[in-house]
Amino acid sequence: MSNDKSKNSFLGIFFRLYWMIIWAFPSMIIISFVVDKKIGVTAYFLWPIIFLSMIGTKYIDIKFYEGTTADGKPATMHDFKNYCLFASPLIPGASLVTYLLLANG
> Mean pLDDT in each 10-residue stretch from start to end of the chain (105 residues)?
63 89 92 88 89 94 88 92 91 89 81
Give the pLDDT confidence score for residue 65 in this predicted structure. 92
3-state secondary structure of 98: helix
82 lies in some domain: yes
Domain that holds residue 97: 10-103
Alpha helix (H) ranges present in 10-105?
10-17, 24-35, 42-64, 77-87, 90-103
4 lies in some domain: no
Give the pLDDT confidence score for residue 102 in this predicted structure. 86
1 lies in some domain: no
83 lies in some domain: yes
Q: Which of 51, 5, 4, 57 is nearest to 27 (CA)?
A: 51
Q: Which of 51, 66, 64, 65 is nearest to 19 (CA)?
A: 51
Contact present, 12 and 6 (Cβ < 8 Å): yes
Q: How many domains does the chain have?
A: 1
84 lies in some domain: yes
78 lies in some domain: yes
CA 52, 57, 59, 64 torsion-angle sign: positive
pTM: 0.80
Give the pLDDT confidence score for residue 3 in this predicted structure. 52
61 lies in some domain: yes
